[in-house]
Amino acid sequence: MARFPGFPPQALKFLRQLEKNNDREWFQAHKSDYEAYLKTPMHDLVTALGEDLEKFATGFQTDPKKAIYRIYRDIRFSNDKRPYKTNVAASFFPKAMEKHAGAGYYFHLAPTEIFLGAGVYMPGPKELFAIRKRLSKDAAAYRKLTSAAAFKRLFGEVQGERLKRSPKGFSPDDPALDLLLGKQFLASAELSAELVGTPKLQTEITKRFRALQPWIDWLNDAVKKG
């Protein structure tokens, strides 16, 4: 089993410097630092997390080349022309679904935090309808998952954008209306940046992903069965 020892001490320092010097000239002059302190360790961490995921959440894309996000921002249609992200991030999504269609896991390392997220971020109309249909029929099972002790302790409540009135095709009197109003189904948590340079980083991320696995499976099963 791969064990990630932690990022080097220079990792967060690099991200803080990038926040202050977010331009191509500075980045090119420090690209070798980025690769040594962040890119290579991130590859190792994602590899280790992928091995952990395979033990309780099979069928997810864990290849670091596909899971890790590029540090380069897409600025073509943005008023913000800063060329680089100031975090390093990765996501694990079901191989059998288009990215963001199903429920997956996400995390990023930023200068002051480690952010974890999971769930369905950008469901299309078909996927969202499938989840709502399952919620209408099986709200009790869903509520049991999101009220589980580990879920509540580590993530609190399900978050995400919501409608103000019942969605098309569902009754405003549906007992699951509070769930049907959801447009996204997300769970998130933050870890202390003090974990960045320690083996506990992998352990704590895996622990939280494992706690979410029954909920993630429920959401993906709903999408698959339509």
- How do residues 5-36 score in pLDDT, each as one tens digit? 999 999 999 999 999 999 999 999 999 999 99
Using DSSP's 3-state secondary structure scheme, residue 114 falls into strand
Q: For residues 161 and 138, what is the distance between their CA atoms, to the nearest angstrom?
A: 21
Query: How do residues 158-212 score in pLDDT, each as one tens digit?
Result: 999 999 999 999 999 999 999 999 999 999 999 999 999 999 999 999 999 999 9
pTM, full prediction: 0.94
Q: Where are the domains of the chain?
A: 10-225
CATH 3.30.930.20 fits 10-225, yes or no: yes
pLDDT of res. 2? 65
- Residue 226 contacts residue 130 (beta carbons within 8 Å): yes
Query: How do residues 50-98 score in pLDDT, each as one tens digit?
Result: 999 999 999 999 999 999 999 999 998 899 999 999 999 999 999 988 8
pLDDT of res. 100? 79
pLDDT at 1 over 70: no
Q: For residues 99 and 124, what is the distance between their CA atoms, to the nearest angstrom?
A: 11
**Strand order from edge to edge, sheet including 113-120:** 88-92, 104-109, 113-120, 185-192
CA distances from 152 to 148, 158, 198, 207 (A): 6, 9, 26, 14
Please state the φ and ψ torsions of residue 88, each to the nearest 5 degrees: -115, 135
pLDDT of res. 101? 87
Q: Tell me the percentage of the chain whose pLDDT exceeds 90.
A: 93
- For the record, the structure tokens of 220 come out as 């993906």
pLDDT of res. 158? 98
Range 205-222 average pLDDT: 97
